[in-house]
Structure 1
Amino acid sequence: MQHFPYQLTGPIGSAATFGLIVLQVDETIEQDFRRLFPSRDIALYVNRIPSGAALTPETIAQMGRDLPAAAALLPQRVAFDVVAYGCTSGTTLIGPDRVTDLVQGALTTRHVAQPLGATLAAFAALDLTSIGLVSPYIDSVSGPMRQTFETAGLQVPSLLSFGEEVEANVARIDPASIHAAALQVGADPLVQAVFLSCTNLRTLDVIDDLEQRIGKPVISSNQALAWHMARLSGAPLAADAPGVLTSKPLARPHQGVLPPI
């Protein structure tokens, strides 16, 4: 058999190369990232992590143990600009510094991102000190998130939860229900902005309308994570990326202290 000569070329991601570790049950974040990063010059490599049918402190703890193996299954010879762990509640309970250590121990990347750190960076970029929170989850998952924001120096005067434990249902929560919950939270005069927590919630199509109705910024997990990855790498977001956040540069990191891991 004749071996035909060939040449090697550069990476697919000439603008940026991203890795994304997605929960096994998450149906939303990949679809959102395709919308938020439409450029053909951005390479996006995705792997799944076992996450359980229900999101609880116990299943999140197991994700922490599984995270290095999931990261290691991303292409090892790729020079990643950013690798992200796509779980807001998971990062809250595992801890952002621990997530970084686990990912960087499994592959080489310039940056590690996750929705919690991205959201805190978004709050800093928008000069926010008080936020309202909409969460899909049970109290044992939503409560620690509120405590984390408060420990970081933010006030959370209003919190609404759908009280859902089954992840398959979270992806099916109607955007109209998310919209209605955000309107109620955003009506609180003590709230400067609304945060829609969870990478599995379908939020992109309601952000712009909510901002017009309540006159305040609306930030979601996937929007904040994509914005943060774009700013860390220099990659372009879609021209129609929703929300006032997407036009903001990265600000100095929030000076609040996160809880110890």
Structure 2
Amino acid sequence: MGASIGFLYPGYSAEDDYPAFQELLGGDVTLRLVHTLMREDAHRVDALLDVGGADVLEAGAHTLREQGVDAIVWACTSGSFVFGWEGAKKQADGVGAAAGVPASSTSFAFVDAVNHLGAGRVAIAATYPDDVAQRFVAFLGEAGLEVTSMASRGIVTAAEVGELAPAEALEFVAMNDHPDAEVVLVPDTALHSAALLEPLEERLGKPVLTANQVSVWQGLRLAGATGPRPGLGTLFSAGVPAALATEPDR
């Protein structure tokens, strides 16, 4: 029996990445996406705190619960790390309680993915304004990861990020690698990335982790769908480790 994974996705920008991942994953996994309320499309701290509010996420979690998913991921990096480590943990716990299934978020997915790759030093190519991107740096620091460099593109809205041409996005990420980084992180689920994973890794010669990629990977972990998956970058190539029944750092 295949796994069914639910995603809470704010607004409309790169939601079509998920059908693309669905096709690459194959027929044993179903990705179900529910759009959550975005009262204001802005990569600004106050707006992001509202986007990731408990009332917004619980409403979406109840919808996914009715669809019978095996796990849920809050597919928004900035709308999770902006709460800090403990706040993001409380957020994910609330989603899990509302849905009755294991739950996580994109921010935790980045940390778990980097750890799975055995890396400790990362470069960040962020589409966000600098003040928001610095909060991601702080979140990773709480996880014990070293950020070797951080580039900010300064884009305020998710809608604008979603309109970045693939070639432009690829060039932005490639230009902001760092020689000391073992992995390059590309936060923001508003960025289309399914088609960029293989070209980016081929160009940089190292693993590249994008927001929608790690969100899907985390969902597979939580749902116990652990087989290797081709065409989705280094992260998926050796299989997905099963999530622990209890993860005390969460």
Note the C-alpha offset of 1:234. Answer: 3.2
Does the 8 A contact of 1:37 with 1:236 survive in 2? no
> Which residue of 171, 186, 190 maps to 1:200?
190
Does the 8 A contact of 2:228 with 2:236 survive in 1? no
Q: Residue 20 of structure 2 aligns with which residue? A: 35
- Report the structure, 1 or 2, having the larger helix content: 2
Q: Residue 223 of structure 1 aligns with which residue? A: 213
Residue 96 of structure 2 corresponds to residue 104 of structure 1: yes
Distance 1:178 1:237, change over 3 A: farther
Distance 1:240 1:172, change over 3 A: same
Distance 1:70 1:231, change over 3 A: closer
Q: 2: CA distance between counterparts of 1:251 and 1:160? A: 32
Q: Residue 23 of structure 1 aligns with which residue? A: 10
Q: Residue 58 of structure 1 aligns with which residue? A: 46
Q: 2: CA distance between counterparts of 1:219 and 1:116? A: 12
> Which residue of 36, 42, 46 maps to 1:49?
36
Note the C-alpha offset of 1:164. Answer: 0.7
Amino acid of the structure 2 residue aligned with 1:32: D
Q: Which has the larger radius of gyration?
A: 1
Residue 80 of structure 2 corresponds to residue 91 of structure 1: yes
> Which residue of 120, 132, 149 maps to 1:158?
149
| Larger mean Cα displacement after TM superposition, 45-54 or 136-145 | 45-54
Amino acid of the structure 1 residue aligned with 2:199: D
Amino acid of the structure 1 residue aligned with 2:241: L
Aligned length: 239
Equivalent residues in 2 for 1:110-149, closer than 5 Å:
111-149=102-140
Amino acid of the structure 2 residue aligned with 1:115: T
Note the C-alpha offset of 1:151. Answer: 2.2
Q: 1: CA distance between counterparts of 2:242 and 2:223? A: 15
TM-score, with length taken from structure 1: 0.82
Amino acid of the structure 1 residue aligned with 2:97: G
Q: 2: CA distance between counterparts of 1:238 and 1:124? A: 17
Residue 180 of structure 2 corresponds to residue 190 of structure 1: yes
Residue 231 of structure 2 corresponds to residue 241 of structure 1: yes
Amino acid of the structure 2 residue aligned with 1:195: L
**Could you list the runs of 5+ residues in structure 2 that have no partner in the other structure?**
none
Does the 8 A contact of 2:73 with 2:218 survive in 1? no
**Could you list the runs of 5+ residues in structure 1 that have no partner in the other structure?**
1-13
Give the secondary structure class of the aligned counterpart of 2:176.
Answer: helix
Does the 8 A contact of 1:125 with 1:251 survive in 2? no
Amino acid of the structure 2 residue aligned with 1:62: D
